Amino acid sequence: MKIVIIQGAFLPVPPILGGAVEKMWFFLGKEFAKMGHEVVHISRKVDSLPMNETIEGVNYFRVAGFATPKSGLILKIMDLIYTLRVRKLMPKDFDIVVGNTFWTPLVLKRNAISACMVDVQRMPKGQMKLYKNARCLRANSNSVVEAIKNELSEKHHHKIAMVPNPLPFIPKYEIDFSKKEKIILYTGRIHPEKGLDLLIQAYKKTSQNYKLQIIGPWEFSQGGGGATYLESLKVLAEDAAVEFLEPIFDIEKLNDHYIKASIFIYPSMAEKGETFGLAPLEAMSWGCVPIVSDLLCFKDFITHGKNGLVFDHRSDDAISHIVKLVHLLESDSRYTKKLASEALGVRETHSISNIAGLFIKQFEQTV
């Protein structure tokens, strides 16, 4: 099968500047190639990467893109310019086009649109009705499936497919729980919608026997909330044992933090933005017990009391809910190990090879 993957205008592949979607398709592309398929992967050009190269059987082509702007309108314009540049670079022969830009299913040539699997990684905002000519609308969670259905008439529902996101790496080590450290970890964008103010307020009410580490991009150009927001979190933390680390885009180095941490808290408040939650999945694969907000997307792979814990982020008492869950894990090592052991199950259910197989099956059904 001949597969073309089109990334967005703002981050390159390989994912040297981060990006959950870029990580995912970088590894899936290599897995498709390993399975014997022809893969072309198009992404943003950056100075440190050549215009064209081949890595593990995948042909990479890069197109001039942009730094992420603050304005949503400007972002859409930049995305259009980038997608038109991609159109000129598209190979003539393909079976499936995976589209990760807003404009891919709209401005590519007709044969590319009719072969396009639109990768819906965020909650749709009315644009699904524009994509009726696309081959397939791929949702990464059941919550996104329902959101897409709400934007389309029932006769188009057959185009919707749910394939979860994979782990963007293959875990190389077994977990020795005796070497876990007293660390509570958050990784992800440093942005108001992630609920970090809630996390810090809750942490300050715990025993603070565990250190809290917060790792992620804060600059606007990388999807963060900016320097002022980061500083407000540091002020909120005061003299508590909270460590703010610079973003880590090297997967192996980030995995080192997951390996050490015992608890992973992802308190996202993004009711209409959070669609999957890759960071909790990554943490679980390294034996961290996840504590997540009660967003629908997390229910696809986290069951409260089985392989993680869930708090009601909509409650006026959300902070005390987090405090109680942290205390539960700190005080009951046997229960913590039980949850962590169950969390490791994502190594199989969300492995790159397993999810790549699900995608290929979906591609074959739609060709």
Average pLDDT over residues 77-82: 98
Average pLDDT over residues 172-186: 95
Percent pLDDT > 70 in the chain is 100
Burial of residue 315 (CB within 10 Å: 0-12, 13-18, 19+) is exposed
Query: CA 341 → CA 194, 285, 304, distances in Å?
Result: 26, 9, 14
At 19, the pLDDT band (50, 70, 90 cuts) reads: confident
- For residue range 298-317, list pLDDT tens digits in order: 999 999 999 999 999 999 99
Written as one letter, the residue type at 252 is E
Average pLDDT over residues 15-38: 93
pLDDT at position 172: 86
pLDDT at position 252: 92
pLDDT at position 251: 87
At 150, the pLDDT band (50, 70, 90 cuts) reads: very high
Query: What residue spans in the chain does CATH classification 3.40.50.2000 cover?
Result: 2-166+351-366, 177-348
Of 186, 243, 173, 247, the C-alpha closest to 216 is 247
Residues in contact with 107: Cβ distance below 8 Å, sequence separation at least 6, in sequence order: 80, 83, 84, 87
Residues 123 and 142 sit within 8 Å (Cβ to Cβ): no
pLDDT at position 267: 97
3-state secondary structure the chain: CEEEEECCCCCCCCCCCCCHHHHHHHHHHHHHHHCCCEEEEEEEECCCCCCEEEECCEEEEEEECCCCCCCHHHHHHHHHHHHHHHHHHCCCCCCEEEECCCCHHHHCCHHHHHCEEEEECCCCCCHHHHHCCCCEEEECCHHHHHHHHCCCCHHHHHHEEECCCCCCCCCCCCCCHHHCCCEEEEECCCCHHHCHHHHHHHHHCCCCCCEEEEECCCCHHHCCCCHHHHHHHHHHHCCCCEEEECCCCCHHHHHHHHHHCCEEEECCCCCCCCCCCHHHHHHHCCCCEEEEECCHHHHHCCCECCCEEEECCCCCCHHHHHHHHHHHHHHCHHHHHHHHHHHCCHHHHCCHHHHHHHHHHHHHHHC
Q: Is residue 367 predicted with pLDDT exceeding 80? A: no
pLDDT at position 137: 98
- For residue range 252-303, list pLDDT tens digits in order: 999 999 999 999 999 999 887 778 888 999 999 999 999 999 998 999 999 9
The rounded mean pLDDT for the chain is 95
Question: What CATH superfamily is the domain 2-166+351-366?
Answer: Glycogen Phosphorylase B; (3.40.50.2000)
pLDDT at position 272: 76
Return the CATH number of 177-348, one of 2.60.120.620, 3.40.50.300, 3.30.43.10, 3.40.50.2000: 3.40.50.2000
What distance in Å separates the CA atoms of residue 362 and residue 221, rounded to the nearest whole number?
34
Interior CA angle at 220 toward 76 and 101, to 5°? 30
pLDDT at position 216: 96
Written as one letter, the residue type at 243 is E
Q: Is residue 20 predicted with pLDDT exceeding 90? A: no
3-state secondary structure 114-143: HCEEEEECCCCCCHHHHHCCCCEEEECCHH
**Cα end-to-end span (Å), the chain:** 10
Average pLDDT over residues 49-54: 97
What distance in Å separates the CA atoms of residue 206 and residue 211, rounded to the nearest whole number?
11
Average pLDDT over residues 188-209: 97
